[in-house]
Amino acid sequence: MTDFLNPDEPNFVFKGVNAVIDFECIIESEIPDIKAQPNIEEISVIGRSGTLTEWYGDYDTYDLPIGDVSIPYGNLEEVKRWLSGSGQLISHNDCDKYIEAIPKFSSPLEFENEWGTFYKFELTFRCQPFKKKVNEKKIVIHERTSTFFNPGSVNSFPIIEIATNAGDLEVNLNGTVIKLLNLSKDWVIIDCEKGEVQQSNKMIRSIGEWPEIVPEKNEISFSNNFIEAIVSMRSSWL
């Protein structure tokens, strides 16, 4: 899929479909590489010059303009279906990372007929702020205390799958501790992004904070009931 993305040729893959290879799209302009901006709130205070700022660590969505795209006349209906709904977007600028995106729907896509041979339209994607690694490898942990490296540039919320004995289990990731209560002997899944813990398709009670993975070195440890774990880092970039 991404093997056909040439860094010198404007192209993208959306929902697993290569624009140039699969639909013979002609992308007339270079696709920019855009960095999401922090969602900073400015606060005005009466009697004080300037403003105060407040930031909770979140980032705004953004528009990624693809520009004018031409397609063969016969591919029109397939392209319309392809550009409906959200999916993973991979640009030729950064072919080992994807963005969750959706074709921008604030205005309709207008397909202009050019001499009955091509259709031309202007395309923009509305993108979530973080880039994620394509086919990121999971980390398998067999020791109660372990370190691993995160290549991402911002904090990420992992999925931690743990084989455990019955009872309570504590997980300590970079000093943030979460305690899982009344587990059975089975695999338990912590989704730190959704803020939920499940075992055998049942929600599990927990105490503590949802841990995050930081850029570069991370340390994780488990209490005595630990058997082994699998960590999906969800490494993220701006």
Verify that 146 and 82 share a domain, yes or no: no
Residues 110-139 pLDDT 10s: 666 766 678 888 899 999 999 999 999 999
Are 122 and 197 in the same domain? no
- Token digits of residue 134: 């394509």
Q: Of 129, 161, 195, at which residue does a domain stop?
A: 129
87-106: per-residue pLDDT in tens? 999 999 899 999 999 998 55
| CATH code, 71 | 2.40.30.200
Q: Apex CA 43: angle with CA 40 and CA 47, to 5°? A: 155
User: DSSP assignment of 55-120, as one string?
Assistant: --S-B--EEEEEEEEEEEGGGHHHHHHHTSS-EEEEETTSTTEEEEEEE--SS----EEETTTEEE
Which of 43-47, 66-70, 72-76, 234-238 bottoms out in mean pLDDT, i.e. has the lowest?
43-47
Give pTM, 2 decimals. 0.83
Give the C-alpha separation, 133 to 59, whole Å. Answer: 18
Q: Is 123 among the domain residues?
A: yes
**Residue whose pair of structure tokens reads 């993208």 in the numeric block:** 12
Indicate the residue type of 74. G
Average pLDDT, the chain: 90
If asked whether residues 108 and 201 sit together in one domain, one would say: no
Q: Tell me if 2 sits within 8 A of 134, measured CB to CB.
A: yes
Beta-carbon contacts of residue 106 (< 8 Å; ≥ 6 apart): none
Confidence (pLDDT) at 110: 62
Domain limits for position 180: 139-237
